[in-house]
Amino acid sequence: MGIFSRLGTLIKSNLNDLISKAEDPQKMLNQIVVEMQNQLVEAKKQVAVSIADEKRLKKNWDEQVELSAEWERKAMLAVRSGDDGLAKEGLVRKAEHDKQQVEFEKQWRLQKDAVEKLKDQLRTLNDKIEEAKRKKNILIARQKRAEAQKAIQDTMRGLSDNSAFDTFERMTQKVDQIEAESEASVELGGELAGDTLQQKFKKLEAAPGGGSDMALAELKAKMGLLEAPKGESAKQLGAGAAPSRNDKGGGGDIGAASTAHLGSSLTAEDMKELEDLDLSELEGKGDKPKA
């Protein structure tokens, strides 16, 4: 093989490869359908010309039939007139038109058959073009679906790389660090700004059992829905014991003095037990010596 032949083969192979790579199925199918549509238009024109020829032959045949009938009528008229020579000439002319009539009839029938075949071929071509359009749409849909699947697979292969997930993890840690530093700054700013003693009291009031809870407990005690605080019970106990001794006549002072002396000598636990006593029991115990 000569060098020029090898060079020609190399150029052809490279050109074919470039053409194959440049071919887009969607564009190629659209172009094929366009070309088929153009061929259909040309075929319709040819069929239209054939139909026109068939109609022209049919018209010529009809004219020859009419002329033949006309010359026959003229020959009959000449016979009635007694002019046989003229009648013969009319019959000769009629024979010529009969001959033309037969020829036009033959051509017309052949043209009519050809036109029917052309119409059938045109219908077949039209059906094939419609089928090609449907196949084109199906092939284009398959192409787009395959391209979408390929794109998804390429994306998944890109995501399978650990570098992307490592980047997400690193960014998550960085955001956590920023949030922690922000919370620390807010906490330090709240503790170091303003009066620290006032802030401590605010925290004490906000703690459970203080502030609003204490106000609610006092309100319930005032409404009688909750027992009064123990300090108030002790006051009521002392106030209740004093009248019971004043009623004895002269013994009230001694009872008051004894209670004061007793209160000074009792411990905190004894005072708690004394506060827990019911007033009715105290009054019962105070009446026993009188009996």
Task: Using a cut of 0.75, tell me whether the model's pTM lies above it.
Answer: no
d(CA 73, CA 105): 22
Which secondary structure element, helix H or strand E, spans residue 93, and what is its range?
Answer: helix 84-159
Return per-residue pLDDT of the chain as tens, 291 residues.
578 777 778 787 777 777 777 677 778 888 888 888 888 888 889 899 999 999 999 999 999 999 999 999 988 988 888 888 888 888 899 899 899 989 999 999 999 999 999 999 899 989 988 888 888 888 888 888 888 888 888 777 766 666 667 777 888 999 999 988 888 887 776 665 555 666 666 766 665 555 567 777 788 788 877 655 555 544 444 444 444 444 444 444 444 444 444 444 455 555 565 555 544 454 554 444 443
Cβ-based neighbours of 57, under 8 Å, separated by 6 or more: 104, 107, 108, 111
CA dist., res. 278 & res. 255, Å (int): 18
Taking a C-beta distance cutoff of 8 angstroms, is the pair 29, 139 a contact? yes
Amino acid identity for residue 17 in this structure: D
d(CA 272, CA 113): 132
